[in-house]
Structure 1
Amino acid sequence: MKVIEPNTEEIKYLQAKKRVEALKGYYWHVAIYLIINTLTSWKNILRGLENGESIIEIFYDYKVSFSWIVWGIILIIHTIRVFGFNNSFTKNWEDRKIKEYMNKSS
């Protein structure tokens, strides 16, 4: 059986590429979060003003704040995942699974 030696430059490249993809996905997530929530909030604010509601009443309406809060929590989790602590469990799990499947195919 032939043993494949890992190419360290290739490994570094693949790790960097994976990191860039994670950052790209995060930045898209932030952009979409801001665009969608801003548009829906403006729509709800304008509709509330047309109905004679005050700005305070509009902001206390769950329709304006709900998506900001819930989606914001999801975005915080995504932020921690991309920039936060190095989640060694996930990384170790991925490495173990890759090795497991490589050994099965041999």
Structure 2
Amino acid sequence: MQKSNIEPYTIDNYDKEQAYLRAKKRVKVLKGFYWHAFWYTLVNIFLITVVAINSNSTEFWQFSTFSTAFFWGIGIVFHAMGVFGKNLLFSKSWEEKKINQYMENENKQRK
């Protein structure tokens, strides 16, 4: 008799499959953000270069030259917040590091 390669479907297999699907979704979201950032950089370098080549120095330093980068940049920030969370800068680990830093500074001052 030949042994079957199919494992019985257990809770452990279900948990592994769910973890895999969550990880796959997370990678897809990260990949989407990285592509967004790549195109943002590439397109804005191109646009600003074209304006720089075709204008004199006074025309270059106007808001219109950088408006696409500015407004699209706002979109990138919101996309990053959606991908990395609201606590991108001030996460729990950041809070803990700062608390420890202040506690250490206070201990040094008391000595």
Check whether TM > 0.5: yes
Q: Deviations over 1:55-82 (max 9, x none)?
A: x5312141x1110011000000000000
Rg (Cα) greater in structure? 2
Counting helix residues as a fraction of each chain, which structure ranks higher?
1
CA RMSD of aligned residues (A): 1.8
User: Percent of aligned positions with the same letter in both sequences?
Assistant: 34
Query: Corresponding residue for 2:16?
Result: 9
Q: Deviations over 1:21-61 (max 9, x none)?
A: 0000100000000000100110011100xxxx21x531214
SS at match of 2:75: helix
Query: Corresponding residue for 1:36?
Result: 43
Query: Corresponding residue for 1:85?
Result: 86
Q: TM-score, normalised by structure 1?
A: 0.66
Query: Corresponding residue for 2:70?
Result: 69
Q: TM-score, normalised by structure 2?
A: 0.63
Count residues with an aligned counterpart: 76
- Structure 2 gap segments, 5+ residues each: 1-10, 88-111
